[in-house]
Structure 1
Amino acid sequence: MERLSGELAQMCAASETAMSDATEALLDVSLAAAERAIGSTDELDRAAAEWERSAFSLLALQSPVAYDLRFVVGGLRVVADVQRMGGLAVHVAKITRLRHPDHVVPEVVRDLFTRMGEVADRQAAESVETLRQLDPERAEALLHGDEAMDELHAELLATAQSEEWRYGVQAAVDLTLLGRFYERFCDHTVEIGRRVIWIETGVAPS
């Protein structure tokens, strides 16, 4: 199970890298970074499938106790969260690729997306360590770590919907989608925290 825990952490690290590449693509209009983010999901999907096979083998070959069952069930849900995180990074990268060579992010909201990328990286990195250690205290901190993203997302929407917005409807739609992708990315890190707490304590946080 220690190996399986480490593999969960590795998959989460891959999704962190994908979102970091996607943010680089978005801010720097980098097709190379966009392609790295988009291409990362194949390996992530393969790792997820292998993890599921190993987890089911663990159940089949051993006499599972309550913790083992919680680990496998919770781990399968973590795998799904991590895959969705990678998928959200791909969505960000594909918008960048679609609009290339134009900038998706107007200068007025560039700082917002820089900070959103930093929050996403921080939450994902903390998720990696939480999974590696299966530490319920670190997991508890994850439950509140996305509040900064929620504030940034609200600020982004307010900016795109304000009367001073002068970048057109398409840009507003793109930014609304992008903001949602970053918000959902962090939502999945919160879910990872909840699942680790349940695995380790048997109690789902309220």
Structure 2
Amino acid sequence: MTARRSRHRSAAYAALALGLAGSLALTGCNSHSSKKSKKSSSSSSKSKKRKIIGGGAAAAGAGAASRRVPDCYPSTYKVTFSQQTGPKSHVAVKFKNSTSRDCKLYNAPLLRFDNAKRPLPLLPGTPGHLDGTRITVPAHGYAYAVIPTNTAATKGTEQKSVAIDFMGVSASSVTHGPATVDFAEKRLHISVGKSKVTNWSSSIHGAQLAGGVDK
């Protein structure tokens, strides 16, 4: 073999070697770029999932807040009184929830007749007596309490007015009030003496039963 042919072959091998090295380098770059792209795509997907989960939790929290039941408020038109006569004589106290959402009442109404310093006591033995009992009054629904007046002492004398507070979870707490009802203005004849009042009930029959004046 001549020296010239040997030089030609050496040059061809060198060119081939350079070509192979360039191809391998390009493949490595492409592989590295592909891995980066996959990592970026995975990270973006995780971030989107976190956002969706976070948004769902916030929405759930907002939904729970909107479902919280507010306290009921007394007013001269929401709380009404009526006197029932006979052997089972009693004063019926009726609360109307005039709003479009539920509200809650605790224990019993606090009633101070004719500017009395202390409210009417709760009737002993009333279900839930001073134990934080709560009832939910549905939208446009009613709640009832009863004041037994079936003896001369409990019937007492005719009252002119009553101030109403709504009790909280304890006997010493008040959520809202007072609202004052003028019986003369409403042409009502309400007689109350040494009486006591039952807890709130979802039905008039339940309140009468608690007061021992059910018919």
TM-score for both structures, normalised by structure 2? 0.20
Which structure has more relative contact order (CA 8 Å, sep 6+)? It is 1
Over alpha carbons, which structure has the higher Rg?
A: 2
Q: Which has the higher strand share?
A: 2
Q: Which has the higher helix share?
A: 1
